[in-house]
A and B are shown apart, each in its own frame.
Chain A
């Protein structure tokens, strides 16, 4: 259990009136996991529970080693979040966040943020409103990772990011996990497209329950080196 970045045991969540769970699963350290399911299957509620945005009703939840409610702030400092349905103040400039986030996170690395913007070719003087969807996702990625979180949470439950953006994002996450710069990543999505290539674990949800959990064996073919799902062996655990 100590090797897991996330552990859920019999967790029940109130997802806007619909009870979700009991859920039990674990995500190992340096693993990339995906929660896949149709609309209203409870993906966003699970992400909210993991990020301590909404409390759980019952069960045991351990995220980055934190279990209690009272350590909520410390836990949140260990998380990086990319939420498709929420946007940052669109009148602000990309460079404004260099200062703003430094006031929120003790571990904020402004130089890392700047270097990520350079990597993604994002002009810091641009307003968020002027960024296209791809550039905005890259900006969010830079923002979510620049305080060096342990666990990255991505929620694209409502609307999928574009195919090219997803590939770029997943490749980047894979690199961070392989370099041990990130201890884990969890994405909630409606589609497993591309994820079968990049993720280590796919958890299928339906009506608030886990219906299937696949661990993808990438031993023979490194995930990030392969663009074809044919190269991956899928074994049901």
Chain B
């Protein structure tokens, strides 16, 4: 499993400069658009989705090189092959969290009271992207990067561009941020547990999909 994660990280590393350039351009465009209200949320979401795209890309890359036959000839358990993609995604989320925090920290110097929004924006980014990934991964395992990517893009559009969904998510985040002390920590823990449960369900579905693919 380590080898597969490392392989995906190596591949991502070879194109990391494009990822960073994409993030920088997106952040500049967002800052210039003047939507101060949702700026931190949008910046965080953009960074996270850029990283989530790397997960899609790793599937696309595997398909392009037809490496599934090689993968299946290696002495790896099916669980490891599926879990490697999930752990790779988790590592990317963690990296996106660090990069977003850094960008928001810098932006907070230029925007009055910006620092207050940082935790809410980060929680928002993690939540939305995790939800997208738990849906996207089984789709990619099932349909491959072409069909799976299209379905993912539609889902993403629903989540990001439907104002109602966006606003209600934002309200949830604001409620969490407005809570105090232990209550806020409880909210964080509940959110984390929900993400983990959804992740495990998603992993199980992906595993079943791959098992039926491998046995056919």
Contact = CB atoms under 8 A, between A and B. Distances in A.
B66 A99 contact: no
Interface in A41-80: 48, 51, 53, 55, 73-74, 76-77, 79
Interface string A74-101: 1011010101011111111000100111
Nearest to B14: A91
A219 interface: no
Interface in B91-144: none
Given A81-B70, A86-B66, A104 B11 contact: no
A100 B7 contact: yes
Contacts of A51: 72-73
A88 B69 contact: no
Interface-central residue, B7, B14, B66, B73, by most chain A CB under 10 Å = B73
B162 interface: no
A28 to B, nearest CB: 23
Contacts of A85: 66, 69
Nearest to A14: B216
B73 A88 contact: no
Interface residues of B, number: 22
A12 to B, nearest CB: 15
A73 B75 contact: yes
A73 B76 contact: yes
Interface in B1-43: 2-3, 6-7, 10-11, 14-15
A89 B72 CA distance: 15
Given A73-B75, A89-B61, A91-B11, A101 B3 contact: yes
Contact of B65 (A73, A89, A103): A89
Contacts of B14: 91-92
A120 interface: no
Contacts of B212: none
B66 A89 contact: no
Contacts of B10: 89, 91-92, 96, 100
Nearest to A73: B75
A89 B7 contact: yes
A88 B69 CA distance: 10
A99 B15 CA distance: 20
A105 interface: yes
B65 A88 contact: yes
B90 to A, nearest CB: 18
Interface residues of A, number: 27
Interface-central residue, A76, A87, A104, by most chain B CB under 10 Å = A104
B74 interface: yes
Contact of B2 (A74, A77, A89, A103): A103
Given A85-B66, A96-B10, A76 B61 contact: no
B168 interface: no
B66 A104 contact: no
A68 B27 CA distance: 55
B215 A86 contact: no
A90 B65 contact: yes
A73 B67 contact: no
Contacts of A92: 7, 10-11, 14
Contact of A88 (B6, B70, B77, B215): B70
A153 B72 CA distance: 14
Given A92-B7, A153-B73, 7 more contacts: A73-B75, A73-B76, A83-B69, A87-B65, A91-B14, A92-B10, A99-B6
Interface of B: 2-3, 6-7, 10-11, 14-15, 61, 65-70, 72-77, 215
Q: Which 8 A-B pairs have the closest CB atoms?
A: A103-B3, A76-B75, A77-B75, A91-B14, A86-B69, A53-B72, A81-B73, A73-B75
